Chain A
Amino acid sequence: MSKNYNVIGHSKPKIDGPEKVSGAAKYTGDLKFPNMLHGKILTSPHAHARILSIDTSEAEKLPGVKAVITHKDVPTLKYGLSPARWDENIFCSEKTRFVGDKVAAVACLDEETCYKALKLIKVEYEVLPAVLDFLTAMDEGQPLVHEEYARNINTEIHQEFGDVAKAFAEAHHVRTDTFIGQRTYQCPIEPHSAISMWDAGKLTIYSSTQSPHYFQHYIAREFGMDIGDVRVLKTFVGGGFGGKLEPTGLEFAGAVLAKITSRPVRMFYDRAEMFAHNRGRHAQQMEITTGVDKDGKILGAYANFKMDGGAYTSLGIASAYYAGALLPMTYEFDNFKFDMYRVYTNLPACGAQRGHGAPQPKYAFESHLDNVAKDLGIDPMDIRIRNARRPDTVTPNDFKINSCHMKECLERAREISGWDEKKKNKVPGRGIGVSTGSFVTGAGYPIYRTDLPHASAFIRVNEDGTAATLYTGSVDIGQGSDTVLCQMAAEAMGYRYEQMKIVAADTETTPLDFGAYASRQTYMSGTAVKLAGEEVKKQILEMASFMLSLPPEDLDCEDGIIFSKSRDDKSITFQEAARKHFVLRGPLMGKGVYTPPKLGGTFKGAAVGTSPAYSFGAQIGEVEIDAETGEISVLGIWDVHDCGKVINPRLLHGQVHGALFMGMGESVWEEVLFDDKGKIINAELANYKMLTAMDMPPIESEVIDSYEPTGPWGAKEVGEGSTNPTLGMFSNAIFDAMGVRVNSLPLTYEKVWRALKEKREQEAAEKA
C-alpha cells in the first residue's frame, strides 16, 4: 500500500502547463479555418410563447449573410441527454419554452453581421402564461410546458428500502426540516464554442466539450449518420463542471449552417447566452425526516423532494435520482424512503453541476443532522462519527462500498481544525461547522444504453524509444487528466513521465472513452491506461530478455531502465530495448480497455448512483459573522478526503480547492435570479457573484492513507466529492455562529442579518 512509485504519487508538472502559461494554448474560439463563417442563434425573448410566424427575408437580403435557418431547415428529431426524455429540438417550431429557447440561426462573413442579421429576423409571438414557480407547477390549472407531460411532471420517483414507518415508530426522536436550494450556474471561464465543417459526407466538429463521444453519438443520431462519419474533437477546454456534457445549438445549428454554405462555421455563446443555455444546478425543495435513537444513531430517513427542472430534461432525470441515491452514503442506516418530483418550468433547463444531484440534498441532510444533534444535546462531530459508514458495507439502495475511511476523515478534520478547542472556548460571532460528503468514482452505467466499454487507451512507443504517446478518448478540461494519465502510463510501462506525449479526446484518432463527468477518468480511463502500459512493459521486458539473455521474470523496468532483479551488472535502457523492438518486431504498442462490473440492485432507478468505488470526505469550516450587517468572513476550511491512492498530490489538492471554491459560492454568494417574466437578471459576472481570489480563506487539504482495491493502484475520485460537504458545512458553521438556522440557499448576508434581527426581536419579546 505504501510502496514508493517513481511516477505516480508525485506532483509532476502539468503536461500542458507551459502552453497555457505562455498563452500558446489554442481554445476552440482561437481556431481559424479558410473561408470560415460566423454563426449565431436567435433566441426567444419570452418564457412561453406560441410562434405565429417567422420571416427571414430581410435578414437574407443583408450583405454578408450566407444562410438563415429555422425549424424548417433542420431535422425534427427530438434530442436530449437522458434517453428516457428526449424533449428538445434544434429549433422551436410551435412554441418557445424559456427566455433563450432556440428559434433560428444565421451564418455570416463576420460576427457583427450575425448580430445585425438576427435583428432582421421577424418572429411573431403570441405570449402564453408561463410556469415560473416550481413549487406550484404541478397544481391544477397551471399551463403545460410540454403538452405531453401532465401536471408538468418530468420525472417522478418513489423508492423505499427497509421500513421507514417502522423505524420512525421505534425511534427516540423524529424530526422534520425543510430546506430550499437555489439555481446556480457552472460559469466555466471559457464559453461554449463549436466549429463545424463538412468534407463530402463527413462532419467534423471542434468543440469545447466534456465528452467528444457523447457529442458524436448524439450528433450522428440527430442527422441519421454513422458515428464513423462524425468526428468530434476538442482543443484546450477552459472548464466544464457538468455544463458542457451535451451538444448544444452550437453543434446542431452549426452543422446545418456548415452543410448549407459548404464552409466551416464558428459559433459560440457569450456570457449571457451561457446562462440561458444553463444546465446548471436545479433549484430544489427538500423535506428531510429522520428518526434516531437516544444516542443519535440514525434508524431511518425520509427524503421528500421537488426539483425545478426548467424547460427541458437535459441530464435531469439522473440529477433527480442522484438527489436521493447518494443520501445514504456517509452514514449507515437501513431504512430509507425517497420521493421526488422533477417538474418542468418555463425557465432555462437544469442539468448536472459539479457533485450532480448530491450537494443540495447533502446540505439539507447535514443541516438537519445538526438540528437533530442539538435536540439531543450531542456534539455535531460525535453524531457523525457515531453514524459514519464503515468499509465493506452495502447501502440500503444496494451500493457496494469497498474502501471507506469516513470515520478517520472526521477524526482527522476534528484534529487539524482544533474543533474541540473551538467548541469549548466559543468566540462570540464565530462558528464552526462540520459536514461530510461522498461521491461516485465514475457512473456504473453510461448515459445512453450501450454495451460499449467505458474507457480504452493505447500507447505507441516511437521507433527509437525516446518518446511514447498515449492515445485516449478521455478529456482534459483543465482538471489535469492528461497529466495524471501520462503519469499512470509511464508508471505502468516503467518509463519516464517527461518523455510521455498525449493525443486525447478526438473521436477519429483516439479510442473510445466516455469523457469528463462523474469523476470517472483517473479511475476508469486510468485502468485502461494502466493495462495498456502493462502490455507495453511485458513486450519490452521480453525484448530485453532476448537482448540480455536473462529470463523475463528476472527483469523489471522502472524510470526508463530495465534491470535484472538478481544481478546488479545487467541493465539496458528502455530506449535501447524499444528501438530493438521496432527493428525486429515493428511498432511497440499496448492497449487497454475498461468496463465496470455489473453493479447495483434491480429496483427502478437502481443504476443511478452505482459506481465501482466511492470517495468519502469530511469538511470543517470556521466563519465569523458581522452581527450588524450579516457579512460572513470565512476564517478557515479543513478538508480531509479519502480518495484512495493519490496519483498527483498537487493536482488533487487543486481539485479540492476548486471544488471548495464552487461549493463556497453556492453556499453564500451565487444564485441565478429572474424577473417576473422569467428573464435572468444577473446573467453576467458582476451580479452573479462568483468568488474572487480575495474571498478565498486559508484551506488545509489533507488525504487519508487509503487504498481502493478495485482502482488502478488503489485510486478513486476527488473532483466532485469535495463540493458535496461544503454547502452543509457553511450552513452548520453559520448556525453555530448565530444560533439560528437560515433554511434556504444561498445563505446571503441579508438572510443572515434578517435571521439575527428576528432572533434579537424574539429575545426582546420574550423578556418583555
Chain B
Amino acid sequence: MYMPDYEYHTPGTLAEACTLLGELGGKVTVLAGGSDVLHKMKIGNLVPDHLVSLKNLKELREIRYEQGRGVVIGALVTHDGIYRSQLLQKHFLSLPMAAHTMANTQVTNIGTIGGNIVNGSPLADLPPILIALGASVKLVGRSGERVLPLEEFIVGPGKTVIAQDEILTEISIPDQPTTGSTYKKFGLRKSGALAVVSVAAAVTVEGGAITDARIVLGAVAPVPLRAKSAEASLKGKKVSDEAIEEAAAAAAADSRPISDLRGSDEYRRELVRVFTKRALRKAIDEGHV
C-alpha cells in the first residue's frame, strides 16, 4: 500500500487544466476527491505518470438552478454536498438520498459526483439515479465544450467517452414532468456495502396511468443499464401490481449480471426483479424520494 511516483499538478483555471491534460505525455489521471483514484493507486491498479488535481477549480463546487438547463451540479460537489443541497432535496430528493446512503461518512465527505461518474464503475451509486432523471454531462476541453446524455457517457467498466484533454465540469438535471423517482440499492450489510444490485426508477404518472418510466440497473451489466423492455412494458399502463410485476420481470430479463464474490448471476437477476418492483412502487406512491 504505497503511492507510486508521479508528478502532481494543480492548475489554477479550467483552461489551464485542459491545456495541461492535452499536453502532458504519458499516463495522466485527473484527481477530484480521490476516493477512487488514490485507492486504485495504492493497490497498484492505477499507475499514472501525472496527477492533475482540480482542487483549485472552486467554480465546480456549486449547485445552482439555471433556466433552460435545470439543476446544474458542479463536478466537484461532494456526495455530502449533494445530500445537503436544499435545491436538490426540494426537486429530486432521490439523488440526495442516493448520495447519502452510498458510502460511509469519510467517503461521502471527500468523494465527488464528477469522480463517481468518470470512474465509470458499473456499480457506482449516482449514475443510475442520474440517468433515470435524464441527466446530461458537460465536458470541457481545449477546443471547446460539449454536452451529452450521461447514459451515453459511460461505455464500459471504467470506460467513458471523455477525451484526454477533457474535464467533466457539470451535471445537469432538466426540468421534467416526472412525478416520482427513487434509488434502491441492495448491499450485504447496512452500511459501507457495495451494491450487489441497484435499481433507479423515475416515473411519470398522470390520472392513474404511467405515461413514462425510466429504469436504470446498477451492478448487473458492464455499464449502468437502461431496462428498456421494462420501461416499454409500463408505458400507457394503469398503475397496478400486475403492471409493476410485469415490468420487474422484464427488467430481470434485461439485466446481464455476472457471478462474483458478492453474488451469483442467478441471484442478481432475481434481485433486479425484486428491487425494480420495490423501486417502481416507491416512486409511484411516494414521489421523488
Q: Across the interface, which residues of A come within 8 angstroms of B192, CB to CB? A: 686, 692
Contacting pair A749 B188 (CB below 8 A): yes
| Interface residue ranges of B193-216 to A (CB < 8 Å) | 193-194
Q: How far is the CA of A682 from the CA of B188 in the complex (A)?
A: 14
Q: How many residues of A contact B (CB 8 A)?
A: 27
Whole-angstrom CA separation of A50 from B143 in the bound complex? 56
In the complex, the answer to whether A629 meets B274 with C-beta atoms within 8 Å is yes
B90 interface residue, CB < 8 Å from A? no
Give the distance in Å from the alpha carbon of A15 to the alpha carbon of B189 in the complex: 34
CA A115 – CA B261 in complex, angstroms?
29
Give min CB distance, B46 to chain A, whole Å.
Answer: 15
Contact assessment for A629 and B190 in the assembled complex, using a CB-CB cutoff below 8 Å: no
B261 to A687, Cβ gap below 8 A? yes
A55 in the interface, Cβ–Cβ < 8 Å?
no
Q: Is A153 an interface residue (CB 8 A)?
A: no
Given contacts A112-B2, A629-B271, A629-B274, contact A681 B261 (CB under 8 A): yes
Scan residues 713-768 of chain A and give those whose CB is less than 8 A from a CB of chain B.
748-750, 753-754, 757
B191 touches A694 (CB 8 A): yes
Residues in chain A near residue B270, CB distance under 8 A: 628, 753, 757
Query: Is B262 part of the contact surface with A, judged by Cβ < 8 Å?
Result: yes
Question: In the complex, A691 Cα to B2 Cα: how many Å?
Answer: 27
Determine whether the beta carbon of B261 is less than 8 Å from that of A689.
Answer: no
CA distance A749 to B186 in the complex (A): 11
| Distance between B2 CB and nearest chain A CB, rounded to angstroms | 4
State the Cβ distance, A745 to closest chain B Cβ, in Å: 15
B155 to chain A, nearest CB (A): 25
Q: Is B6 an interface residue (CB 8 A)?
A: no
Are the C-beta atoms of A669 and B188 separated by less than 8 Å? Answer: yes
Distance in Å: Cβ of B115 to nearest Cβ of chain A: 17
Give Cα A748–Cα B264 distance, bound, in whole angstroms.
12
B21 to chain A, nearest CB (A): 27
| CB of A177 within 8 Å of the partner chain | no
B236 at the interface (CB under 8 A from A): no
- Chain A residues whose C-beta falls within 8 Å of the C-beta of B261 in the assembled complex: 673, 681-682, 687
Q: Does A270 contact B (CB under 8 A)?
A: yes
Could you tell me if A115 and B2 are in contact, using CB atoms closer than 8 angstroms? yes
A112 — nearest CB in chain B belongs to which residue? B2
A270 contacts B194, CB within 8 Å?
Answer: no
Chain B residue nearest in CB terms to A686: B194
B263 within 8 A of A: yes
Minimum C-beta distance from B251 to chain A (A): 14
For residue A695, CB closer than 8 A to chain B, the reply is yes
Q: Which residue of B lies closest to A114 (CB)?
A: B2
CA distance A673 to B263 in the complex (A): 13
Q: CB-nearest residue of chain A relative to B187?
A: A689
Find out whether the CB atom of B267 lies under 8 angstroms from the CB atom of A689. no
A120 at the interface (CB under 8 A from B): no
- Shortest distance between the CB of A192 and any CB in chain B (Å): 14
Q: Does A398 contact B (CB under 8 A)?
A: no
Contact B191 A629 (CB under 8 A): no
Say yes or no for A502: interface residue by CB 8 A criterion: no
The distance in angstroms between the C-alpha atoms of A271 and B42, with both chains bound, is: 12
Q: Are A689 and B189 in contact (CB under 8 A)?
A: yes
- The residue in A111, A629, A681 that gathers the most chain B C-beta atoms within 10 A of its C-beta is A629
Contacts of B104 in A (CB 8 A): 692
Q: Which residues of B contact A695 (CB under 8 A)?
A: 189-191
Q: B189 to A691, Cβ gap below 8 A?
A: yes
Q: Are A750 and B263 in contact (CB under 8 A)?
A: yes
B residues near A750, Cβ cutoff 8 Å = 263-264, 267
Find chain A residues with CB under 8 A from B263 CB. Answer: 750
Select one of A112, A691, A694, A753 contacting B267, CB under 8 A.
A753
A:678-693 near B, CB below 8 Å: 681-682, 686-687, 689, 691-693
Report if A270-B1 is in contact (Cβ < 8 Å); known contacts: A689-B189, A750-B267.
yes
CB contact list, A587-632 vs B, under 8 A: 628-629, 631
Question: Contact at A687–B194, with CB atoms within 8 Å?
Answer: yes
Chain A, range 654-678, C-beta contacts under 8 Å to B: 669, 673
User: In chain B, what residue has the closest Cβ to A688?
Assistant: B261
**CB contact list, B235-275 vs A, under 8 A:** 261-264, 267, 270-271, 274
Q: Is A272 an interface residue (CB 8 A)?
A: yes
Which residues of chain B are near A111, meaning CB under 8 Å? Answer: 2
Bound complex: CA of A347 vs CA of B195, how far in Å?
29
Which B residues are CB-close (under 8 A) to A749? 188
User: CA separation between A757 and B274, bound complex, in Å?
Assistant: 14
CB neighbours (8 Å) of B190 from chain A are 692, 694-695
Interface string of B1-24 (1 = CB under 8 A from A): 111000000000000000000000
B264: which A residues are within 8 A, CB to CB? 750
Contact residues, A546-564 vs B (CB, 8 A): none
Q: Which residues of B, 1-60, contact A by the 8 Å Cβ criterion?
A: 1-3
**Can you list 25 residue pairs at the A/B interface with Cβ under 8 Å?**
A111-B2, A112-B3, A270-B1, A271-B1, A628-B270, A629-B186, A669-B188, A669-B189, A682-B261, A686-B192, A686-B194, A687-B194, A687-B261, A687-B262, A689-B193, A692-B189, A692-B192, A694-B189, A694-B191, A695-B189, A695-B191, A748-B188, A750-B267, A753-B267, A757-B270
**9 A-B pairs closest in CB distance:** A694-B190, A694-B191, A692-B191, A115-B2, A270-B1, A628-B274, A695-B190, A750-B267, A689-B189
Give me 18 other A-B pairs in contact (C-beta within 8 A), A749-B188, A750-B263 excluded.
Answer: A112-B2, A270-B1, A271-B1, A272-B1, A629-B271, A631-B186, A669-B188, A686-B192, A686-B194, A687-B262, A689-B188, A692-B104, A692-B189, A694-B191, A695-B189, A748-B188, A750-B267, A757-B270
